[in-house]
Amino acid sequence: MNTEERVVGIAQMAICHAPSKLSCLGLGSCVAVILCDPGLRLGGMVHVLLPSAPNPCAIEEKYADTGTRKLFKEMLVNGAKKERMWAKLVGGAQMFANMNLYVMDIGKQNALVVRKVLRELGVKIIAEDVEGSRGRSAYFDPATGKILVLTAFAPPRTI
């Protein structure tokens, strides 16, 4: 596979082998779910917008529940082993806290649903950079399993 850096947009999913990399830019209340099989240096990322999918649902990648499941399945299809797989979460901020009255905290809901689904699937979450009030961009390197998290006005973090 060629080396490439793929940007995963809202309601999109991507899987790649090292040395390719994946990123999500400008995550607000959206959550990036990152799954990795370090044995294969295989990584997957889905950029979900809303907590729960309606039924029927046209775009599974848009929702935390269906998107996480789809990513998990896709990892297995690509040869990942469930026992080796871990997950990391980035995003889920509350961008407009004062609009709370009529916009519920979608970011928090997204993160909750992702955690619940991962628990059902038996995938361990080993790191999170979630919630708060700041937007994030996440750059994931399956070669090392590290995620670089950038925010607007803070030093970069690695999880």
Partner 1 sequence: MADEHAGRVLETIKEFANIGAGHAATALSALLNVELMNDVTSCSILPMAKVSEWLGGPNQVVAGSYTQLCGDLRSGILVVLPQDSAKTLLEHLTKETIELSSLNGIQKSALKEVGNICLCWYLIAVSKMIDIDMIPTPPDATVDLLGAVLDIPLATLGARVDTVIAVHTCFKAVDRDFDGYFLMLPEESTLKLILDRMGEPH
**Residues taking part in catalysis:** 30
Asked if residue 30 binds partner 1 (CB under 8 A), the reply is yes
Asked if residue 106 binds partner 1 (CB under 8 A), the reply is yes
Could you say which DSSP state residue 82 is in? T
Of 23-31, 32-40, 70-78, 116-124, the window that binds partner 1 (rule: CB under 8 A) is: 23-31
Q: Which of residues 108-147 bind partner 1 (CB under 8 A)?
A: 133-137
Asked if residue 71 binds partner 1 (CB under 8 A), the reply is no
Could you tell me which residues are beta bridge partners of residue 22? 6, 140
* # of chain residues touching partner 1 (CB under 8 A): 30
Residue 61 in 3-state DSSP?
A: helix
Q: Which residue has the tokens 């995550």?
A: 27
Q: What is the β-pairing status of strands 13-17 and 31-37?
A: unpaired
- Nearest CB to partner 1, comparing residues 66 and 137: 137
Asked if residue 77 binds partner 1 (CB under 8 A), the reply is no
Q: What is the β-pairing status of strands 136-141 and 13-17?
A: unpaired
- Nearest CB to partner 1, comparing residues 64 and 85: 64
Please, which residues have CB within 8 angstroms of residue 129's CB and are 6 or more apart in sequence? Answer: 89, 90, 136, 138, 147, 149, 157, 159
Q: Which residues make up the interface to partner 1 (CB under 8 A)?
A: 9-10, 25-30, 49-50, 54, 62, 93, 95-99, 101-103, 106, 133-137, 151-153
